Structure 1
Amino acid sequence: MRNRFAFQPRYFLFWLAFFVVAKAVFLLYHFGKAGTLPAGTLAGIFGYGLRLDASAAAYLSLVPFVLLMAGSLLGNRAGTDRLIRFYTAVTGVLVAFLSTADLELYRTWGFRLDATPLQYLNSPAEMAASAGSAPLLLLIGAFIGLLLLGYLLYNTIVGRLPQLPAGFGRGRAALASLLYAVLLVVPLRGGVQQIPINQSDVYFASQPFANHAAVNVPWNVVNSLTTLRDTDPARYQFLPDSTAQRLVRPLYTYTDTPAADSATTGLLRTARPNVVFIILESFTAKLVGSMGGEAGITPNLDSLARTGVLFSNIYAAGDRSQKGLVALLSGYPSQPTSGGIIKSPRKTEQLPHLARSLKQAGYSTQYYYGGELAFANMKSYLMTAGYARLTERADFPKSQQNSKWGAHDHVLFDKVLADLRTQRQPFFTTAFTLSSHEPFEIPIPRKFRGTDETALFRNSVYYTDWALGRFLHEARQQPWYDNTLLVLVADHGHTLPGFSAVDSPDKFQIPLVLAGGALRPEARGRVVRSLGSQTDIAATLLAQLQLPATGYRWSRDLLRPVQQPSAFYCYNDGFGFVTPAGSLTFDNVSGRETSRTKGVPSRQLRQGQAYEQLSMQDYQNK
């Protein structure tokens, strides 16, 4: 017969065992990554992760321990047992749901589930569309499996609440329950050390996946909820500010010697051309043939690259659309946080913006998107920018909202073409595509075989390029085209094809092409190999338009040489820093490098840290 006073330790052990099972399910789901790890590293995932698992188990045990203390005083064993079982069932369903959602979100985002999905609750349709490519049957099976395993574990380890031993008073029983509750403080804090446990305590390996796998999902979600506002700036204080400024200065200091592939004169035939700024969803360099990627996926973009100006060494500033949007249109770096600056209208109001700069120069301004602009708080950012007209999903007829996200890309481009016929010139028109976002559904027959996610993604990029080709064919016949500059660039890269690591530079490399009738003939066919970032496009464009870019302090002209070319990018709680010497990546949680190419000097790590430090200070101060 089970002892009443072993009930609380058994309850704690139940949650601990459940988290171990959930960790095993995570590794099985990501067997492609887990299978490459040595046996010792796999064991370390469970061993090092046990502290966070114990902390989460302690939090989940608090309520039952208090209920048991109250039940002991009242002498109501059956009622207490029912309450504890009900609480465990509710929390068990929630924990199983979070663990299941994390399985697929990690594959897509590259970091464990945290509070990030809460930022999209005001856009449920977009959330559903984003999850459209997920293997729902497999995930439902995993969810049910976790529930069944949890049920079996509870009945095996915990079971029914036993009666008090004969002669053992209620007060003494309540005191014993209280002592157990007090003891929870130790696992709850992760030990008796001065600083409570955090994610860095379970980071133990050189492989990011192993460190991520050791993290406890419910603990991570709750912890991130407590830090949804601003991130502690001290966390990014690596160097004295004067040292950080000295290290970053060469990245933005122009030299007098022109680079071999930089233009010594302007690229444009006129200082005030129309500008059509096209942001291509998830267009990774890995699928752009003119950048050395797979051939035949983007024939129209490749054609523009051959007849326009191709920037072949550009990196996205972040890994989400909302981060790319701010980098492109405000020349502002991304933050190593889940949401980025766009989630804070108070901060984005202080950013410069291309639409505002060009509006002041006499341009009419318009923004087009086939989805809902409320997604990721984009609308507040764009309205602050001063666009005269915003076109989004609701502005398209229901019959044209033929994508889970809204209107497909060819519909979007048709709308842009129709409006430009009567648009006052010069105009600055921004169009953001969406069809190459998950779930990668397209309205034309598939070009490439296969039904796996990579094939679906490849076909969706091909479709967007096809829609771009239709747009270009019609645009070239319009009277405004000869005086128009086309800017084509991705919002961010993608893990596909090849399932690039979350911090891998090839995940962040993207195309940038300048084209259109406004280009000078001698500029056509130029390939600019200078290293740069999305954040540099704003200053580059303004320089070609002979407009000041003094407010864009984090942006530089890609056609002017600097002392040290570079590209800085962020992912969740980490950064990458690329220079001509090579690349390195750094994880902020563990405080360690996760990769470094051969020949990269140690100074480059300090420069990357300095850049992150100063950009985060700027973000915090806005």
Structure 2
Amino acid sequence: MMPKPQCSVALLVWRIALVYIVLMLCRAVFYLYNAESIGPLAWSDLGTLLAGALKFDTVSAVYADGAFVLLSLLPLHAREKRWYQRIQFGYYVVVNAVLVVALNLADAIYFRYTQKRITADEIFFADNSNSARLIGKFMLENWWMVLLAGAFTALLAAGYRRRTPVWSPLKGRVYYAANTVILLAAAGLCIAGARGGTTRMTRPITLSNAALYTPDNTKANLILSNPFCLLRTIGSSGGAKTVRYFSDEEADRLFTPVHRPAESARAPLAGRNVVVFIMESMSADHSGYLMPELYADKPIGSFTPFLDSLMREGYCFRQMYANGTRSIQAMPSVLGSIPSFKTPFVLMPQSLGPSRQLPAILRDMGYATAFFCGSERGSMGFGAYARSAGIDLLFSREDYERRHGKGDFDGYWGIWDEPFLQYAGEEFGALPEPFFAALFTISSHHPFYVPKECAGSLPEGYTKIHKSVAYDDRAFRRFFERYRTEEWFRRTLFVFVADHVSSEKFAPESRSYPGNYRIIGFLYTPDGALRGQTDEVVQQLDLMPTVLGLVGGGGTGPYFAFGRDLFNEPERPAWSVSYDDRFHALTHDRIVRFDEHEAATVDREDGTAVAADSLEERFKALIQQYYKHIGQKNYTVQ
């Protein structure tokens, strides 16, 4: 029996409706996979959440299937031909399988690690030789997600009804005229859907519009969907616009990124070498010294016992916070005292402007400069950024393997941290003094592997990352054991700081702001010249000014930085600033939230509203200065 003919418009409506259904199924999977991070959903919130989800799904459907709509409604009799319908079917299944199914299910996994949806920024990271291997690893670890992707794709294919003949009652000129009208109407609906409305006042919706449907930042990610997030962010500079909350003079009075240390300022560690260890995913909750309450009743008292010992002997930041959630955001924060707000600074065109960041300033003072990372030379853009920050020498996996062979490759990211740290020590000893070196560790990263030969001697831990954290702690111990008697070692200021909080949360407070930004950070001098601790809020942005104050004093000359010298600039606010769907400033007792229009201050402990004061104004001034200087590629002091 032949299938009953159906109107082409009715078929198109059904097929697009099926895309919406699959988008909602992907959203359900996203929530179930990330329920712990997103939190419970109240029945009273479901209506607004659904309304927001439908708006963003409409944009995703237009982005993915706009061309399919065009193919389906072109006023041509070719639509009734078998070959034409095969093209339509192939487009519908393949494009939606990639942009709707695969991308959104990948989002469910990706969100756990970065607390954000996949955007155009991630295209930057795909250009690595290990990308295919890592994708394969994720697919094996989440095989059930691959099966779901196959099931959802099969649903699209089965529900397409491709064997149903297309029928139209219209003939001749009426056929062409009517179908042209239908095509134009559909085009108008698609444009309105992509913009998020039909009025003249409607602007194309962006990721931040998700906050309109929930006051909870994390739940806003549940509303978003792809391909909207990916395609909407292509070409976004993230920092080119200008905002003005104050006059330039008033903004400079409230907050200025220009530092002018006095020529007479004391530099107690003048002439010391400087080594900055940027440690992958070293959350504060890995440390029994920083968070002893977590380990009081546990058989394992800390996964960073060696780093804990250095914190006791050095100068420890007990309340240290990252300025972002990704490694690429940490580099400019630590080495340039430049935050990454809406878009990672490294990915902005503005990052290519002239600057005097920490390596460049020290180089001008006679320091040799080097950057070490056990991954490939071009991996993650680290080396490129290091160059732009003023670093002359790059040491990577290729350099290590030329000297020590290829046996220490971890199979995913690069050289295991323990042998690479040993190699870095060899190169430190060969650098002319004084030298500046930054080293980015990689082994405490997903897939959280450790070398087979030491796996049995390391604690399993309470989360997936703990064993690899213990491995890195041992790697630092062995580095110190080997080089502590070297002359260059004795003359070095060591800076330890994590890039961001781990995706594997141990402390309950690490799952929400501000705990999900709290990291390990401290200074260490082998001769004990710098000892103590502070309970003030310290951020990654503070490290560059603090280091310059310790080793250069007023001899550094004026420089540009969004942080503060912890020992010499008490007049600057002790806070940590960041951005997710809005701007945040954290102090020891308050949190300021700012959406670029309205600011709100709450008590850090109980979340109650606090009366506005100068802190809000200084935070707005910081944001204005950020847009002004970064947008104009003006982050140097003339």
Task: Give the TM-score of the pair, scaled to structure 1.
Answer: 0.87
Query: Over residues 171-190 of structure 1, what are the superposed CA-to-partner deviations in whole Å (9 max), with x where a residue is unaligned?
Result: 24533532442442333333
Judging changes above 3 Å, is the alpha-carbon distance between structure 1 residues 531 and 65 closer, same or farther for their aligned structure 2 residues? closer
Query: 1:38-58: per-residue Cα shift (whole Å, max 9, x none)?
Result: 122234322222122223334
The aligned residue for residue 560 of structure 2 is: 552
1:465 corresponds, among 473, 483, 496, to 473
Structure 1 residue 230 displacement after superposition: 4.8
SS in 2 for 1:413: helix
Note if 1:433 corresponds to 2:432: no
Amino acid at match of 1:577: A
3-state SS of the aligned residue for 1:217?
coil
Match of 2:102 in 1: 97
Alignment of 1:33-432 (within 5 A): 33=37, 36-70=40-74, 72-74=76-78, 76-94=80-98, 95-125=100-130, 128-129=133-134, 132=137, 135-155=141-161, 160-165=164-169, 169-184=174-189, 185-194=191-200, 195-198=202-205, 199-203=207-211, 204-225=213-234, 227-234=235-242, 241=248, 244-248=251-255, 268=269, 271-292=270-291, 294=294, 295-337=301-343, 340-344=344-348, 347-397=351-401, 398-432=406-440
Cα offsets for 1:12-56 (capped at 9, x unmatched): 323333322322232233233566121222343222221222233
Stretch moving more, 467-476 or 573-582: 573-582
Change (3 A) 1:516 1:46: same
Give the corresponding residue for 2:298. Answer: none
**SS of match in other structure, 1:21:** helix
**Counterpart-to-counterpart distance in 2, 1:386 and 1:75:** 60
Look up the equivalent residue of 2:284 and give its one-letter code.
Answer: A
> Is residue 2:455 matched to residue 1:445?
yes
**CA RMSD of superposed structures (Å):** 3.2
Q: Paired residue for 1:619, among 624, 630, 636?
A: 630
Alpha carbons 1:126, 1:405 under 8 Å: kept: no
The one-letter amino acid of 1:545's match is V
SS at match of 1:368: strand
Contact 1:282 1:490 in 2 (8 A): yes
Amino acid at match of 2:337: G
Contact between 1:23 and 1:46, CA under 8 Å: does it hold in 2? no
1:593-621 deviation line (CA, Å, top 9, x unaligned): 69763464434444433322321221111
Distance 1:62 1:292, change over 3 A: closer
Q: Say if 1:130 and 1:490 are closer, same or farther in 2 by CA, change over 3 A.
A: farther
Distance 1:517 1:55, change over 3 A: closer
Most deviating of 142-151 and 404-413: 142-151
- Confirm or deny: 8 A CA contact 1:503 1:576 kept in the other structure: no
Distance 1:313 1:565 in 2: 14
Kept in 2, the 8 Å contact 1:565–1:580? The answer is no
Alignment partner of 1:456: what SS?
Answer: coil
CA distance in 2 between counterparts of 1:250 and 1:167 reads 71
Alpha-carbon distance in structure 1 between the residues aligned to 2:356 and 2:132: 29
1:530 to 1:254, Cα distance in 2 relative to 1, 3 A: farther
- Counting matched residue pairs gives 599
Partners of 2:247 and 2:132 in 1: CA distance: 42
Measure the CA separation in 2 of the matches of 1:388 and 1:422.
Answer: 15
- Out of 469, 475, 478, the position equivalent to 2:486 is 478
Aligned to 1:574: 582
**CA separation of 1:124/1:62 partners in 2, compared to 1, >3 Å: closer, same or farther?**
same
Contact 2:93 2:156 in 1 (8 A): no
Question: Quick one: distance in 2 between partners of 1:551 and 1:251?
Answer: 6
1:296-346 per-residue CA deviation (whole Å, 9 max, x = no partner) reads 211111111111111222222222222211121122222321xx2223576
Distance 2:258 2:536 in 1: 13
Distance 1:613 1:494, change over 3 A: farther
Equivalent AA in structure 2 for residue 567 of structure 1: W
Shift of the 20–373 alpha-carbon distance from structure 1 to 2, 3 Å rule, reads same
Question: Aligned letter for 2:619?
Answer: G
Contact 1:353 1:385 in 2 (8 A): yes
Distance 1:516 1:130 in 2: 41
Instruction: Output the amino acid matched with 1:417.
Output: G
Deviation of 1:469 (Å): 0.5
**CA–CA distance in 1 between the matches of 2:132 and 2:512?**
24
241 and 42 in structure 1: CA distance in 2 versus 1, 3 angstrom threshold: farther
1:259 corresponds in structure 2 to none
What residue in structure 2 maps to residue 531 of structure 1? 537
Give yes or no for contact 1:251–1:563 (8 Å, CA) kept in 2.
no
SS of alignment partner, residue 560 of structure 1 = coil
Amino acid at match of 1:29: Y
Between 38-47 and 318-327, report the one with greater CA deviation.
38-47
Structure-1 separation of matches of 2:244 and 2:81: 54
Cα drift, residue 538 of structure 1:
1.4
Counterpart CA distance in 2 for 1:379 and 1:192 is 46
Shift of 1:201: 4.3
CA separation of 1:477 and 1:130: change in aligned 2, threshold 3 A: farther
1:618 partner letter: H
Task: Tell me whether 176-185 or 294-303 shows the greater mean CA deviation.
Answer: 176-185
Contact 1:414 1:471 in 2 (8 A): yes
Query: C-alpha separation between the residues in 1 aligned to 2:471 and 2:56?
Result: 45
- The question of whether the paired residues in 1 share the 8 Å contact of 2:80 and 2:166 is answered with no
Q: Which amino acid aligns with 2:330?
A: G
Are the structure 2 counterparts of residues 14 and 456 from structure 1 closer, same or farther at C-alpha, using a change threshold of 3 Å? closer
- Give the corresponding residue for 2:636: none
- Give, in angstroms, the shift of residue 408 of structure 1: 0.9
User: In structure 2, do the counterparts of structure 1 residues 166 and 354 end up closer, same or farther at CA, with 3 Å as the change threshold?
Assistant: closer
Q: Is the 8 A contact 1:493 1:507 kept in 2?
A: yes
Alignment partners' CA distance in 2, 1:139 and 1:482: 52
Letter in 2 for 1:281: E
CA contact (8 A) 2:368 2:433 kept: yes
Change (3 A) 1:502 1:334: farther
Residues 609, 439 of structure 1: alpha-carbon distance in 2 compared, 3 angstrom cutoff: farther
SS at match of 2:583: strand
| Alpha-carbon distance change, 571 to 131 in structure 1, aligned in 2, over 3 angstroms | farther
Gaps of 5+ in 1: 256-263
Provide the secondary structure at the position in 1 that maps to 2:536.
Answer: coil
- Cα distance in 2 for partners of 1:253, 1:466 equals 40
C-alpha distance in structure 2 between counterparts of 1:121 and 1:45, whole Å: 32
Check conservation: 1:254, 1:562, Cα contact below 8 A. Answer: no
Q: CA deviation at 1:473?
A: 1.1
CA distance in 2 between partners of 1:161 and 1:237 (Å): 60
Per the TM alignment, residue 4 of structure 1 is displaced from its structure 2 partner at its CA by: 4.0
Counterpart CA distance in 1 for 2:315 and 2:101 is 51
Deviations 1:113-157 (A, max 9, x none): 2112101122141574488467331221221122123234433xx
- Bigger CA drift: 507-516 or 492-501? 492-501
Q: Please state whether the residue corresponding to 2:494 is helix, strand or coil.
A: strand
TM-score (norm 2): 0.85
User: Are the equivalent residues in 2 in contact too, given 1:27–1:213 (CA < 8 A)?
Assistant: yes
The one-letter amino acid of 1:565's match is P
Hey, what's the Cα distance between the residues in 2 that align with 1:143 and 1:421? 52
The one-letter code matched in structure 1 to 2:626 is S
Retained in 2: the 8 A contact 1:324–1:534?
A: yes
- Equivalent residues of 2:110, 2:118 under 8 A apart: yes
Q: Distance in 1 between matches of 2:436 and 2:8?
A: 73
